[in-house]
Structures are given as C-alpha cells and as structure tokens.
Amino acid sequence: MAKFTIKDIKGVIPALMTAFDEHEEVYEKGIRELVDHLMNEGVEGFYLTGSTGEGFLMNEAERKQVVEIVIDEVKGRVPVIVHVGAISTKISIELAEHAEKMGADAISSVPPFYWRFSPDHIYNYYKDISESVDIPMIVYNVPLAGIMGFDLIKRLASIEKVEGIKFTATSHHEISMIKKEVGQDFMIYSGADEMAVSGLINGADGIIGSFYNLMPEMFIKINELVKKDNVTEAMAVQKDAIDLIMYSVQKDYYSVMKVALKWMGVDAGYVRRPFINIQGQEEEALKEGFKALKKAGNIKDVKFLDAL
C-alpha cells in the first residue's frame, strides 16, 4: 500500500540506476547498496526503472524484480515512483498493477514511442494505465520519446489520476504556465540535471535526475539554496555540476557513474550491453580527467572527486 500522497513527493529524487552483475543479471546486492548510500546522503525519493535505470534493456520480470528489491530496501522511508513505460499499453498496465501491489507511491511513464502516435493515442495510453490503478500517474515529457505540446499536457492533466509531470523539456517557462493553467496542486518535477536551478525557480516541486546517483550532495545543496532565495550561490554549484556532467556524457555516462561510485566504495555494478563498461586504462584516464576538472574549477565538497 502507498505510504505517501503526491504532495509528499518533492525535493531531490534520483532516477535510480539499476545494478547488473558482470553477467548482466540483476544484481540485488548492488541495488540495495546504492539505495542505502543515497538514503544516507539525504535524497527524498526514488524514480525506478526509467531511462537511467536501463528499464528498456530489461524484460517485464526483471523490471518487477528491481521494483520489489528497491521497495523492500526503502521500507517506506521515502516515496517511490515506478516508471512503467512501454510501447504496449497492456504491458504498462501489468507493470503499473505490480507497482501498486508492491507499495509504490506513484507510477510514471514516457508516452508511447517508435510509431508516430497521435495525441489521441497518447491520451488514451495514459488514461487506460491511470484507470488500472489507484495511485497517481506522473506523465513524462522527454525528448527521447517525443516532446508533448502544451495543449496535450493540459489535456492529459484532465485525466483523474494524472497528478503530475516529469518535465525534461528545456522550455522551463512552461512550468509556470502549467502551474497557472492546470493548478498549483499539479506536481511538476524538473528532469534536466543541467537545469535544476532553472526548474526550481520556475516553480518545480522537485527535481528528478540521473546524476543525483553520483553527486546527490550537489543537487541537495542547490535545492536548499534556491529555497533560501540564494540563486547566485545555487548557480555556482550548478555550474560545477554542469562541468562534471558534460565531461561524463562524452562516454557512456551510466557506466561513468557506476565506476565513480565504486571509487567511493559503493558497488553499483555494471551496465548492460549495448552500453560499454569502463575498465582498465580507460578508467584510469577517466580518473585523471576528473582530477583535472576538480583542479581547474576548484570544485570542492564533491565526494566522488574527493575519493580520487
């Protein structure tokens, strides 16, 4: 049974990575270790089996397994959102029903993709999934699956259980527009790591992102500074985060984050093919690159850098 309402889901929420072992199997020990590490860092929720969680590289049974492990490890301490997106509405409903049964607090989904689905297709997709469960749906506006227009977002918000949106588009002026036209109770989560400050100052209720797995302390600090209206200092932290992100995305950045967590003693496992694991000389070169960034930018109080 869900323990939190949609209004409780706010703050800094990692889009949780999924740990795999060296044979590409779901790695329960690594998942639990990563969850505990992030809980100790002070994150305020988790977003499971999305893009960062390599959700589309898993079958339905594996996605359910990850949900079960994480919810068991969290033990109701923070809200859990489960991404149930699939091209097939039937599969998404199966994943949504399982998430609710396991005790998830909300579900989320990208719109159906690959084929050129119309606004009516997308509306029906979210309506059908939302009607299959009693927990809130958070729709997902993301370039990888196709950015939805403002009119479609408003239409989706009219569905009874659609109570929020993960907004990874860069048109952040729309965040305040959504709040104004849909209502202040409609929850908005900024999903662009590089634009966390922008999302928050435009009215986002929380931030959901990939790099919160690796450097949650930076984004927790950003969130706290914005709450105190100290935008100048928040932007300084954001700039350092952007430098680290831009360096990381030159490679398979899920692999970068997993190997960098290892430097701190957190076993987050491996990535699944076709992503490439960073090892050997490439790992040493990665370390040297991060050391150079730290020195050049005088970046302080970032734990994975301090572990080098």
Residues assigned a catalytic role: 140, 166
Chain centroid offset of residue 230 CA: 25
Alpha-carbon gap, residue 241 to 246, rounded angstroms = 9
Alpha-carbon distance 129 to 146, whole Å? 19
Edge-to-edge strand ranges of the sheet holding 46-48: 11-14, 206-209, 187-190, 162-167, 137-141, 106-109, 80-83, 46-48
Six token digits for residue 81: 């959102």
Name the residue among 251, 122, 143, 247 with its Cα closest to residue 192.
143
- Give the residue carrying structure tokens 């680290």: 244
Secondary structure (3-state) at 79: coil
